[in-house]
Amino acid sequence: MTMNASIHVYTMKNCPYCLKAKQLLTQRGIPFTETLVSHDNDAQWESLFQKSGMKTLPQIFHGDQLIGGYQELSELDKKDNLQSLR
């Protein structure tokens, strides 16, 4: 993991856990980029599944490394207030 690895969050409209993940990152001052995944874009979903093995959103990456979803982000926050993502 590099020090300047960026955070990328894949989200979907009206997704409460996506919103929570973005709020947590913002509260901790962690900059991130976001990709909105369309509910009916099968190719985008398949590509994400190939990358992460996950079929749910949000999907949060630190560089190329999968953090997971909101649950995993929240657990990481409890450990170090997301300092490991800086």
Residue 1 pLDDT > 70: no
- Note the pLDDT of residue 86: 86
Q: How much is the average pLDDT of 54-75? A: 97
**Residues 16-34: tens digit of each pLDDT:** 999 999 999 999 999 999 9
Does residue 55 contact residue 10 with C-beta atoms inside 8 Å? no
55 part of a folded domain: yes
**Residue 16 maps to which CATH number?**
3.40.30.10
Amino acid at position 36, single letter:
L
Q: E strands along the chain, which residues?
A: 7-11, 32-36, 59-62, 65-68
- Note the pLDDT of residue 59: 98
1 part of a folded domain: no
69 part of a folded domain: yes
> How many domains would you assign to the chain?
1
pTM here is 0.92
Between 3 and 17, the more confident residue is: 17
Residue 60 pLDDT > 80: yes
